[in-house]
Amino acid sequence: MRVAVVGVTGLVGTVMCEVLKERNFPISEFIPVASARSVGKQIEFSGRNHTIVSLEDAVNLKPDFALFSAGGNVSLEWAPKFAEVGTTVVDNSSAWRMHDDIPLVVPEVNADVLTEQDRIIANPNCSTIQLVVALAPLEKAFGIKRLVISTYQSITGTGVKALNQYDAEREGNPLSQDENAYHYPIFDNCIPHCDIFLENDYTKEEMKLVHESRKILGHPELAVTATAVRVPVHGGHSEAVNIEFSKDVSIEQLKSTLREAPGIVMQDDPAANDYPMPLFAKHKDEVFVGRIRIDESQKNTFNIWVVADNLRKGAATNTIQIAEYLIAQGLVKGKGLQVGA
């Protein structure tokens, strides 16, 4: 497979490269792509130096896959150009997610929607991915009536600028407001403001959880409300999820269903202080679920706690799992290279 990583020098792009190597993705040619200021520079991948190329040059190389993490405007302009030359694009931005004709995919949940004709595939928002991995088996088994979600999201979800702000504040040398990622300090603080505010006073991040979850779960009328909070954490996103079911459910049934679901690691032993935390989810690809308990205020309602590394399962790993599925199903055949070659 000829694989282009678009946005290769960014946080997610860097992790994509790590995951491609770790999972032995079948690459015959690696094509690093970045903005004009990085073109011509060298980047190491699998023990070799590669020259970063422009988007235009990458399109002309006609890769089998273009894995995008370069922002929505770049994706809107360039993903169709890659698609026109036969490249399969998996895009991490929000640009294509809610287009009716573009699949929005978490492999453990809905990879079966993919076809050989799909040339642009949307990777969901990081907080949505871990949420639906936990919810999909529950929706299938019991039917979900309503969700109330509170997220505690890592600064890594904002990017390098947020890391620089955090480090400067921690060291007691705060940056100027123009250099900061956030309007307020993030060190020793929690900010109930992820992405921009919309007309309904929810943030864009909160509404992504609403709309993307409905699309992926195939439940367009699902009642969802969310609050997204940025926290001074590096390891991943955490979510407190209150779930009201349509059917009668016991806590034993709930735990059994989650325990058997793909991509989930159960950590649910309060007596042993065993529960998911971003500190331990960091650098891992699974979704961790625990603190499972009955909501004693309402019938057929439960609380769960969901944690995952937002740069891996929430972005890079999910992207590469989509590509792996396409290869395994023969939907992208590449240049004659077989899976595992």
> In this structure, what DSSP letter does residue 62 have?
-
Tell me what pLDDT residue 335 has. 63
pLDDT tens for the chain, 341 residues long, are 999 999 999 999 999 999 999 999 999 999 999 999 999 999 999 999 999 999 999 999 999 999 999 999 999 999 999 999 999 999 999 999 999 999 999 999 999 999 999 999 999 999 999 999 999 999 999 999 999 999 999 999 999 999 999 999 999 999 999 999 999 999 999 999 999 999 999 999 999 999 999 999 999 999 999 999 999 999 899 999 999 999 999 999 999 999 999 999 999 999 999 999 999 999 999 999 999 999 999 999 999 999 999 999 999 999 999 999 999 999 999 764 443 33
Does 335 reside within a domain? Answer: no
Q: Between β-strands 223-230 and 264-266, what pairing exists: parallel, antiparallel or unpaired?
A: unpaired
Does 275 reside within a domain? Answer: yes
Q: Tell me, yes or no, whether 155 and 267 share the same domain.
A: yes
Range list of H helices, the chain: 11-22, 55-60, 72-84, 107-110, 126-142, 160-170, 204-217, 251-259, 278-281, 317-328
Q: What letters, b where the CB count within 10 A reaches 16 and e where it falls short, cover 149-173?
A: bbbbbbbbbbeeebbebbebbeeee
Does 115 reside within a domain? Answer: no
Does 64 reside within a domain? Answer: yes
What is the Cα–Cα distance from 334 to 326, expressed in whole angstroms? Answer: 11
| CATH number for the domain harbouring residue 23 | 3.40.50.720
Q: Tell me, yes or no, whether 84 and 160 share the same domain.
A: no
> In this structure, what DSSP letter does residue 288 have?
E
Tell me what pLDDT residue 336 has. 44
Q: Are 135 and 243 in contact (CB under 8 A)?
A: yes
Joined tokens for residue 264? 């989930």
- Catalytic residue set: 126, 237
Q: Tell me, yes or no, whether 174 and 204 share the same domain.
A: yes
Q: Tell me, yes or no, whether 289 and 320 share the same domain.
A: no
Joined tokens for residue 273? 């202080």
Does 333 reside within a domain? Answer: no
**pLDDT tens digit string along 132-158?**
999 999 999 999 999 999 999 999 999
Tell me what pLDDT residue 306 has. 98
- Total domains, the chain: 2
Q: What are phi and psi for residue 213, nearest 5 degrees?
A: -60, -45
Q: Tell me, yes or no, whether 321 and 304 share the same domain.
A: no
Q: Tell me, yes or no, whether 206 and 297 share the same domain.
A: yes
What is the Cα–Cα distance from 270 to 250, expressed in whole angstroms? Answer: 19
Does 102 reside within a domain? Answer: no
Does 110 reside within a domain? Answer: no
What is the Cα–Cα distance from 315 to 321, expressed in whole angstroms? Answer: 10
**pLDDT tens digit string along 286-335?**
999 999 999 999 999 999 999 999 999 999 999 999 999 999 999 999 76
Does 230 reside within a domain? Answer: yes
Tell me what pLDDT residue 339 has. 39
Q: Tell me, yes or no, whether 143 and 281 share the same domain.
A: yes
Tell me what pLDDT residue 235 has. 86
Residue 265, H or E segment: strand 264-266
Tell me what pLDDT residue 334 has. 78
Joined tokens for residue 171? 């060291």
Q: Tell me, yes or no, whether 87 and 155 share the same domain.
A: no
Give me the domain span that covers residue 69: 2-95+315-328
